[in-house]
Structure formats: structure tokens, C-alpha cells
Amino acid sequence: MKNKGVNIVVVGTGYVGLVSGACFAEMGHRVVCVDNDVKKIKMLKKLQMPIYEEGLEDLVKKNVKAGRLFFTTNVKDAINYGGKRAEVFFIAVGTPPRDDGSADLSAVEKVSSDIAENMSDYTVIVEKSTVPVETCLWIEKTVKKHNKKNIPFDVCSNPEFLKEGVAINDFLKPDRIVVGVSSKRAEEVMRRIYKPLSNYPLLVCDVKSAELIKHASNSFLSTKISFINAVANICEKTGADVELVAKGMGLDKRIGPAFLKPGIGFGGFCFPKDLEAFYWLSKQKGYDFEMLKEVKKINDEQKNWMVKKVEGELWNIHGKTIAILGLSFKPKTDDMRFAPSVDIINALIKKGARIKAYDPAAMANAKKIFKNKIYYARDVYDCIRETDCICLVSEWEEFSSIDFNKVLRLVNHPLLIDGRNFYKPEELRALGFTYISVGRP
């Protein structure tokens, strides 16, 4: 990946910002990562990761050692960090949802004004966070307002398509790179940045189309998940097997097998938030995208599937002890934002259940959410010991090697509710488990 590196600043060191910064450095660029969280930056300077993402720690250490990756707490320092002027700013700050479903863009506005007040020469400002269409227009207005020296600049959109758990691979071996630009000068800069990834598809388009591509993509994938979960409910009522139905559908090249995996619904910070934001935006523009409301409704109901199954088997949940295996919204991440486990556990607690929980990576984040309301297990077997029901919520690979003969000796009742269709029904039933999965007879 030999390339004349670009001097880049990435503002925000969350799942998108830190991965992007480390990967840009790996591509040969000089990168300064900025975050106003002093504790987080201190950790990173000590080469300690504030988030869990496979391969990230090694990548950060490698590029810090190579002198391509740096960390600081404010934009002003980053502009000329180490005497090198920043050519490009990537904005990767949080855009949390408001109560009405719209995205809170106050952090984006603050960063935009900080950049405007400190830039000294032509600068490309790139929106990397997932934002509604026309956000770049507001960034441009904000920069003009605070750009007292009339420094030339361009605003671009470069949406991320990273899946937590495999984010580094997604960045360095992407399905596509989307860049929305408003000038040839900005396009040339963005092409320089992504030249090391020239073997992968690069779509250059207008800024608004680039912004819309991200929301449309995530909303479509969310729709596929809710669709197969709705099909799973039909399968349960008819005796069909949703796994075979999904396989038969996925063999059609027009449909494909990806995201036709039945379960207890999608979570994480992207799909739920982007779905809400896309629906909110459509309403603001005078179009009622009702299908997105139904996608959300199906997903919310799917989280209740597990609670209903527990109640259907235990009759009275009050006073029962339930093991929750997996807390993060998906394997290979510690992210619990909008994780189905949160709604499931809260619903079970409300019904009087005692909860024991275990996750290979998300225990620290779980403690921030549940405090002392649940028991935090040391390992799988500590979690399932003396429980009345086991619920698999996130399908971590570690759970594939559980000794179920040992489990039989530890539990009060051999009841397993598999929210991800992770196990083979015939094997667990042969051992003596009451085994329940999604949409399988």
C-alpha cells in the first residue's frame, strides 16, 4: 500500500472514528485522532483500547510505533500537530437519536465550527458519521459562518459501511467506497486518500446522494431482517422450517442469503437509529415511508419472542432464575447500544425473574446499564448453574463449545431457548433438553 500519505485528522474515537483512523494510518497516511474525552485519549496514548474490536489493538500499536498515528484532545492542536498541517478532516462524532427519531447533530455542528476557526489553508471536511441527507449543507453553512479568514474549503460525504466485529476487514477490503463531492479539487483529494484501495469499487457522486446511500442501505438490510423474522413467525404457526425457507430464498441471486437469518431482532447503534432517522427525514420531506414503521414494529415485537417463550415454558416467571448467554448486540463486539438483551432482561426483571448473565466482551458495558439488578457470571458454567432456563441471545463462538452434558448436571431444568438458531435441535433434544428456537418445528 505505498502511497504519498495525506495529513488526516479524524474527530471522534468511537467504533467508526478509531477504526477509520487506524486504517487510514495502515494505508500510509499520517493520522491524528481527536476526542474531547480526556480519559479516552489518555488510554489511547498508553495503547489501551476504549472499545473492543477484533484486531484493533494490534493495528493501533503498529501504526503508533510507525509514527503514523497520534492522539490529542482538541481540534486546535490537531490542525498543525507535530508541525504538519492537516489537509483533511473526517468528522466521526456521535449522532444519537432524539425522542422524535431525528438525529442529534449538535456534536457535528461543534466540530464544524472548531475546524472553521482554526484552519489556515484549503481544507477538505468529510462527514463520516451516519447523518441525514443535507447535513453536509449545514456543515458548509456552519463553516462559512465561523470562517472569518475566508479560507477555501470543501465539504464531502464519505459514509462508512463497517460491521462491528469485522470492521477492520470491512475498511481495508470494502464492498464499495462511496464519496460525495461538490468540486473536482475535493474529488482529487479523496481519490488520493483511497488510492491504496484502488482494487475496490469507488463510487464518486454528489454529496446528497452519498448521504442518502447510507440510510437507504441500512434501512434495506433492516427490512430483510424483519422480513425473515416475520416469515419465522408464519413458520411457527404452520410447522414449516424457516432455515429451509431462508435457504430456498437465498439461492435466488436477486435475493441472496445475506441478512436472511432469523432471530430476536437487530440491535446496535446503526440499524435502529438509521431506520428511525430515515423515517423522520422522509416525513420532513413530505413522504410517509410507512414500510419503515412496520420494519421497526416487527423488530420490537421480535424481542418479545424470547420473553413469551420463557413464560410459555415456565408458566410463572416470578422467582425463577434465568441465564442470559450473550449481552452485546452481536458477537465480536462489546457494544450494547440498542442490544436486544437490554429489552429482554428488563422485561424479565419486570416480571420478577432473577437474571444471571455472561458475555465474553460486554460485561463492563452491561454493568453500566444494569448496575446491581443482575448477577454477572464469571463464565458460561457460572452463569447457567442452578437456573430454570437458559436463553441464548448473542451467538458468540465460545458458546459453540459448551459441554451440554455438564450443563445438564448444573441446571434446575434442562430448558434452552435459542434466540439465534445457533444449535442443532436434534442434538440438544437427544440429550434431554427442552429446546426452542426461532421458526423451526
Residue at grid coordinates 469485522: 166
Give the bridge partners for 415, in sequence order.
434
> 251 in helix, strand or coil?
coil
Q: In sequence order, what are the residues at sequence separation of 6 or more whose Cβ sits closer than 8 angstroms to the Cβ of residue 252?
A: none
Give the bridge partners for 32, in sequence order.
9, 70
Rounded Cα gap, residues 359 and 396, in angstroms: 8
Rounded Cα gap, residues 31 and 300, in angstroms: 40
The runs of H, that is alpha helices, within 47-200 are 56-65, 75-79, 106-118, 135-146, 167-172, 184-194
Cα 52 to the center of its chain, rounded Å? 12
Q: Which 8-state DSSP code applies to residue 203?
A: E
- For the annotated catalytic residues, the residue numbers are 270
Residue at grid coordinates 505505498: 2
Rounded Cα gap, residues 252 and 430, in angstroms: 34
Give me the phi and psi of 416, to 5 degrees please.
-130, 125
